Structure formats: structure tokens, C-alpha cells
């Protein structure tokens, strides 16, 4: 997997977390930098770890599906991307958690990192390495989640849905690119 694709994947996955961090962020909140750092650390850590778990799972079955692994990678990325676009287009507003306790933060981090798990499976099917993508996904996610949590409330209403849609479209585009490269 080339560097541009890795960066685009990290960017796309981080946008989902950005949207949630915007909703979870407290505008002018009392915790400020501390709360933003907690949100960013939780999201970044889970977004970096889940592709590794997906990659390990994918490696265990990749030998059995190597003839059509590009279709599986495309399908996973297209499904994840379509789900992100659908959620971005839905009228349902993101709910702001009542508190940012550790439990709430872990639930939000797990929920936003399921997409990264699927991407990790795709990387295993493509016989790509996982260390650099996982590291970049974690770094991108930390940075955008930190910014999103600091921006909070009003920015969520303005950019949250658009970021989710953009992230989904980028993942679908990467899936199409993978498919076309393998079919050509």
C-alpha cells in the first residue's frame, strides 16, 4: 500500500472521530485542554489498535480467500464508507453524552473504531503491513479528535455531518482504487 493511500485512509478514519469529538466536546468547557486530551487519547488509541486486531484476524484467513481478497477489501471499505455517508446524511443529531467519564469515553472510542477494525482486515487481505498505517491512523485521529473536542458544540452542528460524509467518500474511493488496480 502506497503512502498516499495510507494517509488518505488515516484521514478518512479520523474524520468519523472528529465528528463524534465535536459532539462530545464541551464548548468553553471547564476541562478544556484536559478533556480534549482525554477524548483524543481514547479515540487515537482505539483507532490505532483496532486495525492491528483486524489485520491479525485477516491474516489468519487471507490464505483461504487470496483469489478474491481485493473484492473483500473493496466490499469492506465500501460498506464502511457507505455507512459513514448514510450517518452523515441522516437527520438524526449526535447526542451529547451526559458525562465524559471513563466508561462513556471507552464506549465512544470503541464505537468509532469499528471502521478501523474493518480497514485492518482489508490491509491483511492486501498483504500490506500494519505498523505504519496503525501509527498514522492513531496520530491523525488524536490530532483531529483533540481539535474537535476543543471546538465542541456549535462546530458540531456546522461540520460534524460533513466530516462524516467526506470520510465515507474517501474510504469508498480507496476501495474502488484497490479493486481497479487488481482488475487491471
The CA distance from 146 to 17, in Å, is: 10
- Hey, is 52 helix, strand or coil? helix
Instruction: Give the per-residue pLDDT at 157.
Output: 65
> Which residue, among 20, 4, 39, 38, has the nearest Cα to 115 in the 3D structure?
20
The CA distance from 182 to 41, in Å, is: 36
> Which residue, among 25, 33, 61, 47, has the nearest Cα to 157 in the 3D structure?
25
Range of the domain at 33: 3-183
Instruction: Give the per-residue pLDDT at 153.
Output: 59
CB atoms within 10 A of CB 64: 8
Instruction: Give the per-residue pLDDT at 155.
Output: 65
Instruction: Give the per-residue pLDDT at 67.
Output: 77
Instruction: Give the per-residue pLDDT at 41.
Output: 96
Q: Which three cell numbers stand for residue 107?
A: 464506549
The CA distance from 153 to 166, in Å, is: 20
In this prediction, the residues of the chain whose per-residue pLDDT falls under 50 are 98
Tally of structural domains, the chain = 1
pTM score: 0.73
Instruction: Give the per-residue pLDDT at 26.
Output: 57
The CA distance from 58 to 25, in Å, is: 34
| Mean pLDDT across the chain | 83
Amino acid at each position: 500500500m502506497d503512502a498516499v493511500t495510507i494517509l488518505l485512509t488515516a484521514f478518512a478514519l479520523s474524520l468519523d472521530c472528529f465528528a463524534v469529538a465535536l459532539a462530545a466536546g464541551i464548548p468553553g468547557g471547564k476541562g478544556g485542554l484536559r478533556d480534549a486530551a482525554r477524548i483524543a487519547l481514547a479515540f487515537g488509541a482505539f483507532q490505532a489498535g483496532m486495525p492491528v486486531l483486524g489485520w491479525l484476524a485477516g491474516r489468519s484467513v487471507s490464505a483461504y480467500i487470496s483469489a478474491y481478497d481485493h473484492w473483500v477489501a473493496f466490499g469492506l471499505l465500501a460498506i464502511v464508507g457507505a455507512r459513514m455517508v448514510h450517518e452523515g446524511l441522516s437527520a438524526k443529531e449526535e447526542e451529547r453524552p451526559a458525562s465524559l467519564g471513563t466508561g462513556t469515553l471507552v464506549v465512544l472510542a470503541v464505537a468509532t473504531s469499528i471502521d478501523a477494525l474493518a480497514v485492518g482486515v482489508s490491509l491483511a487481505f492486501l498483504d500490506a503491513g500494519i505498523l505504519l498505517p496503525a501509527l498514522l491512523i492513531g496520530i491523525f485521529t488524536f490530532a483531529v479528535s483533540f481539535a474537535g473536542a476543543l471546538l465542541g458544540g456549535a462546530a458540531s452542528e456546522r461540520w460534524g455531518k460533513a466530516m462524516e460524509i467526506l470520510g465515507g467518500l474517501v474510504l469508498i474511493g480507496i476501495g474502488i482504487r484497490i479493486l481497479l488496480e487488481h482488475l487491471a
